[in-house]
Structure 1
Amino acid sequence: MKLAASLLFTVILITSHANAATPEQCRFIEARAEREACYQRQEIARAARQKANEARQAEQQKPYEPMTADDAQLAKSLRSICRGC
């Protein structure tokens, strides 16, 4: 019984994620007002994704920070512990 319940739960999770990830198809909407509203929702979502991507890229492109004096001293002491172990 537990196996059946867990399988059912897994199937529900997979199908709900697939439905949520499917983009809205605005071109098939008959009413012009609804179709334009759909296009506006997609544009807002695209702008939010693009802004998030730009923020992520800016974060990844931070300049390299040089080692502090403490880091250099620690590296020097670690090198002197073992020479060729």
Structure 2
Amino acid sequence: MKRVSWILLTVALTGSPAAAATPEQCRFIEARAEREACYQRQEAARLARQKMNESRQAEQPKPYEPMAADDAQLAKAIRGICRGC
């Protein structure tokens, strides 16, 4: 009895991620309406992922750059140098 329960648990754990990890292949769906619905689901999922990534990037603080002021001053000084002489 314990062996059967362990086998079922193992099958349940190994079978679920494989199904969830594979993307839906819309191009192989024969019916046009079902194929278009599949494409719409994929587009909605892509937009949701993109929005989540954008919000995650917006939350990340900008790196502190102590040389930014010095870089701006140096760029201003370099602009005054004759380049074609």
Q: TM-score range by the shorter chain?
A: 0.5 to 0.7
Aligned equivalents of 1:16 and 1:29: distance in 2? Answer: 22
- Displacement of 1:29 after TM fit? 0.7
Q: Percent identity?
A: 75
Aligned equivalents of 2:60 and 2:10: distance in 1? Answer: 35
Partner of residue 47, structure 1: 47
Aligned equivalents of 2:62 and 2:43: distance in 1? Answer: 29
Aligned equivalents of 1:16 and 1:26: distance in 2? Answer: 20
Partner of residue 10, structure 1: 10
Aligned equivalents of 2:54 and 2:3: distance in 1? Answer: 44
Q: Which runs of 5+ in 2 are unaligned?
A: 65-85
Partner of residue 78, structure 2: none
Partner of residue 80, structure 2: none
Count of residue pairs brought into register by the alignment: 64
Aligned equivalents of 1:52 and 1:59: distance in 2? Answer: 11
Aligned equivalents of 1:12 and 1:27: distance in 2? Answer: 28
Q: TM-score, normalised by structure 1?
A: 0.62
The amino acid across from 1:54 in the alignment is: E
Aligned equivalents of 1:60 and 1:10: distance in 2? Answer: 39
Q: Which runs of 5+ in 1 are unaligned?
A: 65-85
